Chain A
């Protein structure tokens, strides 16, 4: 079974440029999460989808961040414009909805904003 796929793995951009990250969850997983992880910290939720619906986006900085999951499968997270403080690892995870289902993570995208 394929795991959670993310691309790109690494991205270097200059500040004020746009950037997009892509995630394909494990087949059959209807819940998808985007996390931000700063160095030496735990993951912080940005947005959670149940199928195509964003059910928790309270921590998403909506002035510059956006996300979509149009068909309830893969998802894209965008930053426009990027700021120096956005340099971090962006993790995607997925799970099956249900009691106690485990969350599985992708390898992450490491973003460096210069």
Chain B
């Protein structure tokens, strides 16, 4: 069974600084997809970034980038130039190549300090 682990329940970062959120997963498959979702206090879950496992290049979206280490089954999210609006819960998610099941981690609560 696929499992997703986020070992940091809480993280904090100074405004304008960089923070990295960790995620590891367990799978026996070679093709899959990984996602980071953000959930602000309003509760709307928003996609931040996604990574295809068959791609070696790390995905980037403006200030958000990932460090995808397939052999280590690690998928960390780096937020550069942190802004107050980045404060939220961040969930790492895994999706199999076939089928539509998603597996979520327990989340990391990010606080941005002004």
Indicate if the CB atoms of A40 and B100 lie closer than 8 Å. no
From A31, A44, A110, contact of B100 by CB (8 A): A31
Chain B interface, >50% SS class:
strand
Does B44 lie at the interface of the complex (its beta carbon under 8 Å from any beta carbon of A)?
yes
From B33, B93, B101, B106, contact of A48 by CB (8 A): B101
- Chain B residue at smallest Cβ distance from A40: B107
- Chain B residue at smallest Cβ distance from A98: B100
Distance (whole angstroms) from the CB of A7 to the closest CB of chain B: 14
Indicate if the CB atoms of A108 and B43 lie closer than 8 Å. yes
Indicate if the CB atoms of B100 and A42 lie closer than 8 Å. no
- Chain B residue at smallest Cβ distance from A105: B45
CA gap between A48 and B101 in the complex, in Å: 8
Q: Given contacts A40-B107, A42-B107, is CB(A103)–CB(B43) below 8 Å?
A: no
Distance (whole angstroms) from the CB of A102 to the closest CB of chain B: 6
From B44, B52, B105, contact of A105 by CB (8 A): B44
B34-53 vs A, CB cutoff 8 Å, 1 = contact: the mask equals 01010000111111001010
Indicate if the CB atoms of B50 and A42 lie closer than 8 Å. no
Indicate if the CB atoms of B91 and A42 lie closer than 8 Å. yes
A77-105 vs B, CB cutoff 8 Å, 1 = contact: the mask equals 00000000000010101010101111111
Q: Which residues of A contact B52 (CB under 8 A)?
A: 100
Indicate if the CB atoms of A102 and B107 lie closer than 8 Å. no
- Chain A residue at smallest Cβ distance from B100: A31
Does B97 lie at the interface of the complex (its beta carbon under 8 Å from any beta carbon of A)?
yes
Q: Which residues of A contact B37 (CB under 8 A)?
A: 105
Residues of A within 8 A of B (CB): 31, 33, 40-45, 48, 50, 56, 89, 91, 93, 95, 97, 99-108, 110
Residues of B within 8 A of A (CB): 33, 35, 37, 42-47, 50, 52, 91, 93, 95, 97-98, 100-102, 104-107, 109
- Additional 11 contacts, C-beta under 8 A, given A99-B97, A102-B35: A31-B100, A42-B106, A42-B107, A89-B43, A91-B45, A100-B97, A101-B100, A102-B47, A107-B42, A108-B43, A108-B44
